[in-house]
Amino acid sequence: MRYALLVLGGPYSHQAAHSALRFAHAAIARGHRVDTVFFYHDGVYNASHFAAPPQDEPHLVDAWCDLQRTHGTTLQVCVAAALRRGLLDAREAERHGKSGVSLEPPFELTGLGQLLDIGQTHERLITFAP
């Protein structure tokens, strides 16, 4: 089946991101495709390029990138939720006159309408909330 995950919880403050990652790997191990993860609300912090957790702790941002690299999962971030929280890709940083880029590929900024599309194009959509 085609799965999508909606992550609403920020990393290291709630279990949502950790649960979603664990679920993604379990779904893939069962032969499913986890085609898309959509980050919304505080979940957008999962895409923070500047995240630098202690080396003996799970690096959730890197873990999402690994999922994309290994399994082709698209990592979509709600642009409105991201801009409010200081997560800007190069284009948005320039547009808003900010120095520094806090959101890098493979994460991609996208509109909330994309979430509606995900609900229609994937067979399962599982929400992990704070």
Q: Where in 32-71 is the site for other proteins (CB under 8 A)?
A: 32
In the bound complex, what is the minimum distance in angstroms from residue 15's beta carbon to other proteins?
5
Q: Does residue 126 interact with other proteins by CB under 8 A? A: yes
Q: Which of 5, 20, 78, 88 is catalytic?
A: 78
Torsion of CA 114, 120, 125, 130, to 10 degrees: 40
- Tally of residues, the chain: 130
Specify which residues 103 forms β-bridges with. none
Residue 13 binds to other proteins (criterion: CB under 8 A) = no
Cα 18 to chain center, whole Å?
A: 12
Residue 78 appears among annotated catalytic residues: yes
Is residue 2 close enough to count as binding other proteins by CB under 8 A? no
27 binds other proteins (CB under 8 A): yes
Stretch that binds other proteins, among 25-33, 43-51, 89-97, 102-110 (CB under 8 A): 25-33
Can you tell me which residue has the tokens 């190069």? 90
Among 22, 69, 95, 98, binds other proteins (CB under 8 A): 22
Contact 92/85 with Cβ under 8 angstroms? no
Question: b/e per residue, 109-126, with b = 16+ CB within 10 A?
Answer: bbeeebbeebeeebeebb
- Of 93 and 115, which CB lies nearer to other proteins in the complex structure? 115
Q: Does 116 bind other proteins (CB under 8 A)?
A: no
What residues are labeled active site? 78
